[in-house]
Each structure stands twice: as structure tokens, then as C-alpha cells.
Copies of this chain bind each other. A is one copy, B any other.
């Protein structure tokens, strides 16, 4: 099997002029945008579902979207001026360019259907079921892939139960997305990744904070917040209240928040199941509930600021369950006690990872070791061999995969992952999400009666938060660049200009055009989206419509002797450090129970 795309238009986003294939082909029936037999009313959700249904057939044949040779998209009521399919199609293909034909049709086989996708796919040769390679590096009870918080927590629990354990870490440091860097100006540190915890319902983090002996800084919620409208004046509101653009908009915003809160509280935390909610994007869900445009714009900030995704790209069920995992939409959005953004760590959150790592036996972690392949022999009890990119082959009774789900794609599994797991791995995607820490000479916003929290419908940054540490003389506003406006901002490659744009935005929002630039010292940020080991994003990958329903059960299900942890696998506090640690402990429990059983 091989594919070769003939590209005549270098600007083509998702298609080649032609594709040459050799070897076996999978011919796929036209797949409609339905879930559990129902087509959602909006076209964009139907495109997501049609791609998912296509994906499911592709995965069942052991292939991936990268193997698509040709694709035909049938569209009802085609509107050339408002094409909905390019973005989801481009995301789905992730740079792969098949031959694509778009065919507008008057109607499809079932009146509700608005999109149907047929395709031909090159089928990869089935991997030869090889015997396990001879270990070059001895044996271990449990091998953990990744020394982020979840992997470290898993390894710690495994070792405490008396098993031998090894961690392979691709980077030269521990912590994964807990990564703390000193400011060049010497005024303390900044967290380039995870930053917030709380001390009431995040039990693992409270305990880790005590163990690491760090100092916690309460998030500043004293004073006014600001809302920058897409078109219109900036609105001032006290922290904790609903901004009053108009009394009607205020009441609409209150109701959409209450509706989402109620809907997310009704879901199971660990096993959400609601095909009707899952068949729609979060935006389509809001539309189906007749939410006003103004309230929809605010809700769009939620998916952007929490996941980096546009509300049109993420399943309503996934987003509501994500909120549910953090105690609900309101708690997850809150900067106060019990809320997700209540406490920061003066010394930086990487200290959590370092605290665990310091307590592990010497040489438990091997750095700069990326995993190339995991080989298992069908049937249980024979363990697995993990092959590193440097060619080492390590035999382990059990493997704990503690890397972000999107990174699993970079590992070759032999035998291949089951179709549902593969569907999940291929579907989990990070949105665009970057934090930029803008360091100032003083907390000029506090002096003017603001707490520093800003919401923007205009961008480039969707949210600003105060992340100062006054005891260090560190005065910082962290800009959250997220979703489309963030992605646009990142197109500018000149760092100075990017910073300048943010300072300009702040100047406009605070109605003091020159002040932020005058007070500015330096900026620090990190583009997680460009980092392969990060899975191309942060804080948590999300799913488009339908995947939870069709493949959600595969999230925490072990594959042979390989177990899966990581914050997105957590039932509680997905996307947060608390979720990462809890998932690591859960993975360790599975492994220890399994090995104890097999030794009976």
C-alpha cells in the first residue's frame, strides 16, 4: 500500500488534483451526518458526524484518514458563499490531501440529510503478527510512558505497591504541561502551562501542595472586570456579576448559564451518554435551544477559554461533561473558593511534578527516550515490549501510557489498537490555546480599581487574568489566546509585534491607549501547539460530535496490557492537574490489581 498525491494547486487546503494508490482499497458507502439514526438540524454538526461515520468505517479496516485516496462530498442546498465543510474537512484530514470532489445535490437519500461523504481508502498491509522482540534492556513490572503529572503519580503508586517501575520521558525534564520558568527580569517565575488549583475539592492537589511546601496565592477577584464587545463599548462589571450590556442581554446571559449548568449537572461524570446532545456541536446545541446571538457570543468564550476550541467544533455533550468534571460550568469558570482558578503557586506548578519525582527511587525516570512502538502478543499475561526510538526494547508486564491521547498516534501498536480506541485517538484534538504572560512594572489595573479579569469577544486575547505575585514584585496579566482569534494572532511570527498587539488590545479595553506599553517590561509564553510531545496543544483535547457515543467506552479501557491515563481520561477535573493526578492513581490501581490477580 502506498499513496502519492499529485498537487497542482499549492494553496489547496484539503485536496490534491489526483492521488496514486497501490494495493488493497476500501470502498466506503456514502456516510450521512447521523448519530443513532438521527440527523441534527444544523449542517455543521452533520458534517462532523458524516466525517465521524466515515472515520469509523476507516478505523474498522485498520486504516486512518491519512490513507484516504478519494473523497466525494454531497451537499444539499449548497451555498458557495457560505461553505461549512472546508474547516472540519481540513481538520479531519490534518494535512493529508486526497482527491476531493464536491457535488451539490437537490436532496439526499433521507430528507433530513444535508451532507453525505463517500470515500475510497488505501488499506495498510496488516502488520505481521511478529513474535515479541527480545528485550535488550531487562524487564520491569510496569513501564510508564511520560513523566508528566499523571505518569509520575501512576509510577509513585505502582512503586508503593511493591512493583518495579520505569518511566520513559521524551523530554529532558519532568512535569509535562506543568512547566515553570524564571522571568528574565528576576522577579519570580511564570507557569507556561497549568497554573491553578483549589484547596477544597481538588484533594490530590491540596495534598501535593502541602508535600511540596509551596506558597499559594489567591486569585485576585477584588474590583471590577471588563467585557470587550465585538462591536460596541467596553462594559464594566463587578467580579461575580453578569455584565449588563442591556438588561435583556444580561437576563439572556443568566439563562444560558443556568441552562448549561442544569444540563451539565444532569450528566454522568464518568460515563456521559446522550446521543441527542452528542450529535450537535456546543454552538448548535445553543441554537437548538433558541439562545440569543449575544448569549451565544458569551458562551463561545467558554469553549475558547476552556478548550481553545470554537463552539462549532466541539460536541455539546463533550463540553458539558467537561464542565461537569470540574463540578459544573459555574465552578469551573470561577476564580473564587471551590473554583477552578482559585489558587496559584508562587514557586510554580512544576514543583508538584518535581516533588513526586524526588521521592521515586533513583533512575526510575529515563529522559530523552521517546517510545516508537508497543508490541504485545495476543492473549494476556505475556506483557508487552516497548521499543524506544533509540532502539531499546524493554519488556514490561504492564504499560501505562501517560501521554496526551493525541500523542498516542505517534506510537506504533502491534497488534493495532482496536477500532474504537483508534477512533478516539484520531478524534481527540487540542484547540488553539496559548498563554502570554505580560509583565508590567506595577499592577496599574489594581490601582484603577480593576481585578484584572477581562473577557473579550473581539480578541486577539479572549481572556486576561491577573497572575501577579506582589511579594516577588511580579505584576503580570496573562493573556489567553484561544480559538480562531488566537490562531489568527499566531499567524504573526514576529514576537515583538505579537506582544504589541496585546498591549494595544489592553490599552483599548482600559481606555488608556499608551499605559500598558509604558508599563510593559517583558513577555513570556510557550506555543504548546507547536510541540509534538504536547500533542499540539493544551490544556485538554476535546472531541467533535458523536465520538463519545460511538467510542467513549474506549477512553479508559486497557488494550491488552496497556493502560491509559492522562487528564482527559479523568472522570473529575479533566484538563486540570487534579484530573491528571487522579487518572494516574486510577491507572496504577488497575495495573496493581491486574498483576496481583495474574500472580494468584
Interfacial residues, chain A to chain B (CB-CB below 8 A): 6, 8, 15-31, 56-58, 60-61, 69-70, 72, 74, 78, 80, 98-111, 116, 118, 120-121, 123
Contact = CB atoms under 8 A, between A and B. Distances in A.
The oligomer's copy count stands at 2
Contacts of A27: 18-21, 69-70, 98-99, 120
A110 B80 contact: yes
A111 B60 contact: no
B102 A30 contact: yes
B24 A24 contact: no
B30 A26 contact: no
A20 B120 CA distance: 9
Nearest to A113: B80
Given A6-B61, A17-B56, 12 more contacts: A15-B29, A18-B26, A18-B27, A20-B26, A20-B27, A21-B24, A27-B99, A29-B101, A30-B101, A70-B120, A74-B103, A102-B108
Nearest to A27: B70
12 contacts: A18-B26, A18-B61, A21-B25, A21-B27, A27-B69, A27-B99, A29-B70, A30-B100, A70-B120, A80-B109, A104-B109, A106-B106
B118 A72 contact: yes
A197 to B, nearest CB: 44
Given A72-B118, A99-B118, A104-B108, A60 B6 contact: yes
Contacts of A30: 100-103
Given A78-B107, A80-B110, A105-B106, A28 B17 contact: yes
A389 to B, nearest CB: 32
A241 B494 CA distance: 72
A576 to B, nearest CB: 36
Nearest to A120: B27
A22 B108 CA distance: 30
**Among A29, A72, A107, A110, residue most surrounded by chain B Cβ atoms (within 10 Å):** A29
A26 B19 contact: yes
Contact of A24 (B22, B60, B110, B118): B22
Contacts of A56: 8, 17
A34 to B, nearest CB: 11
B102 A60 contact: no
Contact of A57 (B17, B25, B101, B106): B17
Most buried by B among A27, A60, A105: A27
Nearest to A31: B17
Contacts of A98: 27
B106 A118 contact: no
A74 to B, nearest CB: 6
Contact of A101 (B15, B58, B102, B118): B118
A103 B101 contact: no
Q: Which of A69, A101, A105, A120 has the most CB of B within 10 A?
A: A101
A72 to B, nearest CB: 7
B23 A22 contact: yes
A15 B29 CA distance: 8
Contacts of A104: 105-109
Nearest to A102: B109
A101 B28 CA distance: 9
A573 B70 CA distance: 46
Contacts of A21: 24-27
